[in-house]
Amino acid sequence: MRMVFRWFGEGNDTVTLEQIKQIPGTEGIVWALHDVPVGEAWPLERIKEVKEQADRYGLHIDVVESVNVHEDIKLGLPMREQYIENYKTTIERLARVGVKVICYNFMPVFDWTRTDLHKELEDGSTALFYEKAKIEAIDPIELVEQIARHSTLTMPGWEPERLAHLKALFHAYQGVTEEDLWENLSYFLQAIIPVAEANGIKMAIHPDDPPWSVFGLPRIVTNRENIRRLLNLVDSPYHGITLCSGSLGANPANHIPEMVREFCDRIPFAHIRNVKIYENGDFVETSHRAQDGSIDIVDVVKAYHENDFNGYVRPDHGRHIWNEECRPGYGLYDRALGIMYLWGIWDACNREKGEKRS
């Protein structure tokens, strides 16, 4: 298990590289050029700049999250050809600085969806919350406005240029079925996986968060059966998944340890976090500890360990604790605690196997 930590870039994150360097066992950053508009090729100079910044702290830049996919690709529009070419260029440029994994997602319009970014938990901390009834009742445009009002930093997946044309986007998706989305994903993968392969980069698609349709938009990376179908679209070790325990785990029917066991050799990157699911379908993000949420994180880590997992892992989101002012879900403290919990389980598994240190 190779521990990495998401970092949003100089001047765009409350967490510093110096702090990340001091989290035990953390070897690299998970990064992106967040200000490059979706669909454009990332400039090589900018990529090199991040590498130099990370180098100064002895952190690597092996994992990128995300290179976002333009909506025209998801919609299968003619302009997708140009956007796919740009995507390939970005893959080639990232390979030049040694990137090994690219995480991306194929969710129409929205990336992750929540109704409250600061839901208060019993202990006074706050966390990201999904209220089913509210999602079903609210107009998505209103939700976006509400969320934008509560965050000064742009949020990944909610980039302004994508959201500016929200109404038009919703219109474009009218009549687009799950099968259409499968077809467009397949088209995209056939085009980019050979390029990823030639450049030694593993593509790792992130599941849909939450793993069901929201606002009537189709979603397909949602469960075990669909992940099987997805992996069969292109038979290559360079076509894999980012197994996100919190995203998939919001549906109690998704048994995460079993998915780890089944897909392990196609998981170059793992997101590990916990969520507490309520009977009415709401869920809230909790600490990583198994007892605090609905996902048995101990069993998840054990499943990785049993399979000698050597891919990259990050503590996905964290709560906001100790009055930390930070990007929603991406503070330093709770994610660092999460890392120590994951290492604790991992090291105990190593001991059980008779290995003193590693």
Catalytic residues: 206, 244, 271, 316-317, 330
Q: Which stretch binds ligand DNO (CB under 6 A): 75-83, 163-171, 241-249, 295-303?
A: 241-249
- Site track 260-279 with ligand DNO (rule: CB under 6 A), x = hit: -----------x--------
CA distance 127 to 324: 12
Measured CA to CA, the distance from residue 269 to residue 103 in angstroms comes to: 8
Residue with Cβ nearer ligand DNO (3 or 45): 3
Site string for ligand DNO, 134-163 (x = CB under 6 A): ----------------------xx------
316 touching ligand DNO, by CB under 6 A: yes
Q: For residue 321, state whether it binds Mn ion (rule: CB under 5 A).
A: no
111 binds, among ligand DNO, Mn ion, none (CB under 5 to 8 A by kind): ligand DNO
* Residue 105 binding ligand DNO, by CB under 6 A: yes
Segment near Mn ion (CB under 5 A), from 36-44, 86-94, 224-232, 315-323?
A: 315-323
In DSSP notation, 180-230 reads HHHHHHHHHHHHHHHHHHHTT-EEEEEPPSSSS--TT------SHHHHHHH
CA distance 253 to 272: 18
Does 204 bind ligand DNO (CB under 6 A)? Our answer is no
Q: Does 222 bind ligand DNO (CB under 6 A)?
A: no
H-helix segments, the chain:
17-21, 44-55, 71-75, 80-96, 132-137, 140-149, 160-163, 166-172, 178-198, 224-233, 245-249, 256-263, 297-306, 333-352
> Which of the stretches 45-53, 83-91, 240-248, 342-350 binds ligand DNO when contact is defined by CB under 6 A?
240-248
- Regarding 209 and contact with ligand DNO (CB under 6 A), the answer is yes
> Quick one: which of 101, 105, 240 has its CA closest to 159?
105
The one-letter code for the residue type at 354 is G
Comparing CB distances to ligand DNO, the nearer of 106 and 304 is: 106
3-class DSSP state of 155: coil
Q: Which stretch binds ligand DNO (CB under 6 A): 7-15, 98-106, 214-222, 296-304?
A: 98-106
Return the closest-CA partner of residue 14 out of 286, 326, 241: 326
157 binds, among Mn ion, ligand DNO, none (CB under 5 to 8 A by kind): ligand DNO
Q: How far is CA 100 from CA 112, 121, 234, 267, 312, in A?
A: 24, 37, 19, 13, 10
For residue 177 the two structure tokens come to 């079925």
Binding-site ranges for ligand DNO (CB under 6 A): 65-66, 103-105, 111-112, 156-157, 206, 209, 244, 246-247, 271, 316
